[in-house]
Structure 1
């Protein structure tokens, strides 16, 4: 069953923070790279960065994202008014449709410009991280991480396509038996789609934990097991009736993008692979 927690990552977003700091760009740095991701946020002033052979002008509100192996150095353009920068280094993250431990910008570049609203939000998180870094309070690492995650999410939202809105489904009654029947009806009709228990729960104005509990109380199994059985029964029918379709195509038709996962479930429930089921049925 689809889990809306992982709409932009493949698992929990739990980066390892290596450092946070603030500094002034008073001299040109050496040309270098890191084995982690470093984000530089321009808090004030103007400057330049030389990144992978190209020079970029930066000013307050701009971000420089240097993933592992990206060569870069800063260039001072006004010694009297040096640029103030925020730095954060981190690793152990993986956003969808991006390589592991890489943040890819829409334009394929290294610099991200922000509007006033986003600049204010990012600035707030920068100073929150810096303030926590200066304290000796318990849990400061996790407070920094909490702010970094929000900082990153604001950046990622600007660089990925928004998910299409899920089709709504109206549920009329909150009586336990009615709720379960409506969920069953929904699963029977939409089994070939990406189904989120959280989305169903929201449409019913109930918690996903509650509807999981009453579903199991009424049917003896969880919603996900019920959905799996529907999909696999449909798959059995299709393996016989759609003989020209591959197992991968059948898996897609019943809602599974991963044919290996589909085949593994099929064998678990029926004791043979989808291909062997098809061959045995034809032979008989």
Structure 2
């Protein structure tokens, strides 16, 4: 599933957060005017959204949107435990030298099962941190809540992109990317990256492509070109920049730069 172009730009406004341990009298019976995400981590409950009724249990993620009519109750033999967040959001983007607000519908169905155990564990940790921050009285707690919840949304967006998503592999790839961003000026090989991540080169190449859509060398070149642009803007020559970002051959650097940016490094300096 391809996500809408701007989905990762959403800016949430959190209204309410709870770590709910439902007692037997707990129920929902309302029509909401906000968005709601709920992740069950223990017990069971029956939920009805408009005309759809489901039995939810640990690992189920429920999503409600403004206008939804909700009904729910838990069970005596297995009371529900879940994290729930009420929120609103907007999607501001900077385009054509001005700020614009675009429509970016959240890509969630009413109910989805988080089948990746590593992702589920990470989400539980993030929701727990979010709840603790919500209970805090620190002046910066609102900023912290947005950061944590934005990470939750980003993880869920990636999970919804397709069945190939694997959180454990994603963490391995993040480790490799961090290594490349810290050592881009060195002569990095696939073998070195594999040794750093303690997996085979062939497996690393496979999961890296699945997670990023690029090979390790393509990703490394992108990092180097991005850094090169900063150095060129700061007054470094093409030759100096080439060496500083890990290209031993200035002609290869110029070719890679033009392929990435559409212009040569010297033309970029003159912009």
Shorter-normalised TM range: 0.5 to 0.7
Work out whether 1:89 is the aligned partner of 2:107.
Answer: no
Q: Secondary structure at the match of 1:72?
A: strand
Matched-pair contact (CA < 8 Å) for 2:8–2:154: no
Written as runs of structure 1 = structure 2, the 5 A alignment for 1:101-250 is 102-105=105-108, 109-115=109-115, 116-161=117-162, 202-203=220-221, 205-206=223-224, 208=226, 210-214=228-232, 227=262
Specify which of 64, 67, 71 is matched with residue 66 of structure 1: 64
CA deviation vs aligned residue, 1:135-169 (integer Å, no higher than 9, x gap): 22341112111111111112111212589xxxxxx
Matched-pair contact (CA < 8 Å) for 2:11–2:91: no
Corresponding residue pairs, total: 181
Alignment partners' CA distance in 2, 1:145 and 1:204: 29
Q: Secondary structure at the match of 1:32?
A: strand
More strand by share: 2
Alignment partners' CA distance in 1, 2:78 and 2:8: 43
Residue of structure 2 equivalent to 1:242:
none
CA shift in 2, pair 1:69/1:137, >3 Å: same
Q: CA deviation at 1:216?
A: 8.7
Q: TM-score, normalised by structure 1?
A: 0.53
Q: CA RMSD in A?
A: 3.8
> If you compute each CA radius of gyration, which structure gives the higher value, 1 or 2?
1
Gap runs ≥5 in structure 2: 93-101, 166-184, 186-216, 239-257, 264-271
CA shift in 2, pair 1:124/1:54, >3 Å: same
Matched-pair contact (CA < 8 Å) for 2:18–2:85: yes
Alignment partners' CA distance in 1, 2:129 and 2:33: 25
Residue of structure 2 equivalent to 1:34:
32
CA shift in 2, pair 1:124/1:48, >3 Å: same
Matched-pair contact (CA < 8 Å) for 2:44–2:57: yes
Alignment partners' CA distance in 2, 1:138 and 1:37: 25
Alignment partners' CA distance in 2, 1:140 and 1:215: 37
Gap runs ≥5 in structure 1: 1-5, 164-173, 175-198, 229-284
Q: TM-score, normalised by structure 2?
A: 0.55
Alignment partners' CA distance in 2, 1:155 and 1:76: 25
CA shift in 2, pair 1:7/1:206, >3 Å: farther
